[in-house]
Amino acid sequence: MDICNGRADGHMQTDMFQPDLQGLNLLPSDGELNDFGRVFYGREADISLHRLLRDVPWQANTALVNGQVIKSGRQLAWYADDKFRYTHSGLLREAIVWELPILELIKNRVERVTGATFNSCVLNLYHNGSQGMGWHSDREAVGAHSLIASVSVGATRKFALRHKISGEKRALLLEHGQLIVMRGTTQQHWLHALMRTQQTLGPRISLTFRLFPAHEDWS
């Protein structure tokens, strides 16, 4: 597995890649992953983490397994332009209409940096290194909705990808204030995961922006 470490100047510290990361695809084939480095710095990133921890109405991540609702330690929230709805893991989800100033500020920064427009943001809160997310792909991010922008604030965590057929892997460390973008056919061909660790780490929040296909049925 190749691991690429981010630097505070927004460039990745590695012998494998060139400095112009925004235009550089970190995947070998069948998709595109771009690293924009840290787009929030120092106190700005600290304030973002603090206000999201304090102000987001976090809910337990739940799934319906064998007729029973199972909760995990990870917490989440979903914001969007409208009260979009879809069914995930057997349970109906409904978005909260944008209302947090800090979230609007982060969204505006991401849209300015990426040149894309988003109508939805899923926030995941990992309280410590023992909490992560297993291998998956985002089924709603296909076709015209394939661009996903993800901001990390809080503890540095390893983000990994694995090709669905070849099993080839890539990974990078996501730092406080860092932005990555997955686009194109990445979700069709690659799985991704947030790796767990036994290291003592503080909380980490991921903010995943996308254009949610509200006119389609994802139940």
The CATH number of residue 33's host domain is: 2.60.120.590
- How confident is the model over 10-58, as pLDDT tens digits? 333 332 323 345 668 999 999 999 999 999 999 999 999 999 999 999 9
Residue 153 included in any domain: yes
Q: Tokens at residue 49, please? A: 């983490």
Residue 6 included in any domain: no
Q: Rounded to 5 degrees, what angle do the CA atoms 104, 105, 108 make?
A: 85
Q: Domain residues for 47?
A: 24-56+72-210
> How far apart are alpha carbons 89 and 63 in whole angstroms?
5
Provide the β-strand partners of residue 96. 79
DSSP secondary structure letter of residue 95:
P
* Overall domain count for the chain: 1
Residue 111 included in any domain: yes
Residue 3 included in any domain: no
Report pTM: 0.83
Residue 63 included in any domain: no
Residue 194 included in any domain: yes
> How far apart are alpha carbons 182 and 196 in whole angstroms?
21
- How confident is the model over 142-169, as pLDDT tens digits? 454 579 999 999 999 999 999 999 999 9
The DSSP H or E segment spanning 161 is strand 157-163
